């Protein structure tokens, strides 16, 4: 029978490793996705193997074997060394984060530049010339055509206002968007008809 060699003394897990091991076991047990369960189980097995245990031994012991840290190691680290290590870890994390942010910003800038260049090249090739012409025609048409399609023809509207109200000619001209002379000519023509 072939025996697998395991180290006798375990280095022990750090608290974050213990928490990760526990979370992996929970995910392997409770995840609704088969792939996620199998991946979590494999990761937990690798973690237990790294500390010289099978998954069953690590789970059965509640991680107690892995939680035992070497007393020599605990004595070796002074509070000053711990503070230095924590400071170095913070600085490294900060530098990694700033590098990531710089990379993300650079990537976004290059993507925007690439998009703008591609758009400019497309305009030069005339790929959307018809669409741009249509938009320009619509913009110029909107200046001439009234926005409100329910609005009456100004000449007919002026005629109705002259017939049904006693508004001054200047008021009717401003309501209909006509000049006073046009409104006056409409009023005079209405007299001739009657």
For 148, phi and psi rounded to 5 degrees?
A: -90, 110
Q: What is the DSSP letter of 127?
A: T
Model confidence over 67-119: pLDDT tens digits?
454 454 555 557 888 888 898 998 988 888 888 888 899 999 999 999 999 98
Count up the domains in the chain and report the number.
3
Q: Is the pLDDT of residue 2 over 80?
A: no
Contact 54, 48 (CB under 8 A): yes
Non-local CB neighbours of 21 within 8 Å, separated by 6+ positions: 13, 44, 47, 48, 58, 63, 66
Q: What is the pTM of this model?
A: 0.29
Model confidence over 3-62: pLDDT tens digits?
554 444 445 677 787 788 888 888 888 888 888 888 988 998 898 888 888 877 777 665
In a domain, 28, yes or no: yes
192 pLDDT band (50/70/90 cuts)?
confident
Comparison of pLDDT for 62 and 120, the residue scoring more: 120
In a domain, 43, yes or no: yes
In a domain, 34, yes or no: yes
If asked whether residues 152 and 188 sit together in one domain, one would say yes
If asked whether residues 23 and 54 sit together in one domain, one would say yes
pLDDT at 178: 93
If asked whether residues 65 and 85 sit together in one domain, one would say no
pLDDT at 187: 94
In a domain, 4, yes or no: no
- How far is residue 54's CA from residue 41's CA, in Å, rounded to a whole number? 12
Q: Please give the residue range of the domain that contains residue 94.
A: 77-112
In a domain, 125, yes or no: no
- How far is residue 166's CA from residue 131's CA, in Å, rounded to a whole number? 49
In a domain, 42, yes or no: yes
In a domain, 100, yes or no: yes
- Final residue of a structural domain among 60, 90, 112: 112
In a domain, 130, yes or no: no
If asked whether residues 26 and 57 sit together in one domain, one would say yes
Alpha helix (H) ranges present in the chain?
15-30, 34-50, 55-60, 64-67, 71-76, 79-125, 129-144, 154-164, 169-176, 180-193
């Amino acid at each position: 029978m072939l025996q697998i060699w395991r180290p006798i003394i375990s280095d022990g897990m750090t608290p974050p490793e213990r928490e990760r091991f526990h979370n992996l076991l929970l995910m392997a047990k409770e995840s609704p996705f088969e792939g996620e369960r199998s991946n979590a189980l494999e990761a937990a097995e690798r973690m237990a193997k790294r500390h010289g245990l099978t998954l069953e031994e690590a789970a059965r012991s509640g991680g107690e074997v892995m939680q035992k840290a070497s007393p020599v190691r605990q004595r070796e680290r002074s509070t000053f060394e711990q503070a230095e290590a924590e400071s170095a870890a913070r600085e490294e994390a900060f530098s990694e984060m700033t590098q990531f942010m710089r990379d993300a910003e650079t990537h976004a800038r290059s993507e925007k530049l690439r998009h703008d260049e591609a758009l400019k090249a497309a305009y030069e090739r005339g790929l959307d010339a018809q669409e741009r012409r249509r938009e320009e025609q619509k913009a110029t048409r909107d200046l001439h055509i009234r926005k409100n399609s329910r609005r009456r023809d100004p000449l007919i509207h002026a005629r109705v206002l002259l017939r049904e109200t006693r508004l001054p000619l200047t008021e009717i001209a401003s309501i209909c968007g006509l000049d006073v002379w046009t409104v006056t000519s409409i009023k005079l023509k209405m007299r001739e008809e009657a």
